[in-house]
Amino acid sequence: MTTTYMYTKALLLCSALGLIAVGCSSEAVEETSDQFATATAWAKTLECHGLTIDVDTNSRRHLQGVIHDPHATDYLSAHPGGGNVGKKNEKGEIILSGFARTGVFGAGDFSGFRQSCFCVRDSNDAVAYVERSGSDVKVRLVTSASGQEVETATWVFRDCH
């Protein structure tokens, strides 16, 4: 069993249980986490105005949406839960990552994903949905209030190909 496989399996288990990844990781996982991060080979799958969807070539179900439009990052981070969903990196981008139901091998295979949260969730924390809508991609921030989902922000990225 490869260390990358062990890390992926532990990470998925932690995500499914809603626990902090560090809190349920083993020593082998902690030793390989940096190796896993550098071993991920991202390939651009879909390009929109202000957003790029990348797929992990080692696991075609693992995706990331890189939001690089400064207006979109400002807007999304300013709304309730926006700071919990994705903080801007040093380049000013927000990176959302998650898993698709089926493998993504090209732009036509992408339908969307829900951002994975590897943290203990507060019911008020936002969840990000990255969804294909025709030739566009929509990012929605959703929080929970009294057991109901409440959409707090939406940004549509146009002209995706």
Phi, psi of 74, deg, nearest 5: -65, -45
Q: What pLDDT is recorded for position 34?
A: 39
Q: How confident is the model at residue 2 (pLDDT cuts 50, 70, 90)?
A: very low
Q: What is the pLDDT of residue 66?
A: 96
As to burial, measured by CB atoms within 10 angstroms (0-12 exposed, 13-18 middle, 19+ buried), residue 14 is: buried
Residue that wins the pLDDT comparison between 89 and 18: 89
Name the residue ranges covered by the structural domains of the chain.
1-39, 41-157
Model confidence pTM above 0.85 = no
42 confidence band (pLDDT: 50, 70, 90): very high
The average pLDDT across 75-98 equals 82
Q: Is the pLDDT of residue 18 over 70?
A: no
Burial of 72-111, coded b for 16+ CB within 10 Å and e otherwise, reads bbebbbebebbebbbebeeeebbbbbbebeeebeeeeebe
CA distance 65 to 139: 9
In this prediction, residues 6-16 reach a mean pLDDT of 42
Average pLDDT, the chain: 76
Residue 72's closest CA among 46, 42, 93, 96?
Answer: 93
The predicted structure's pLDDT at residue 22? 33
pLDDT value at residue 40? 83
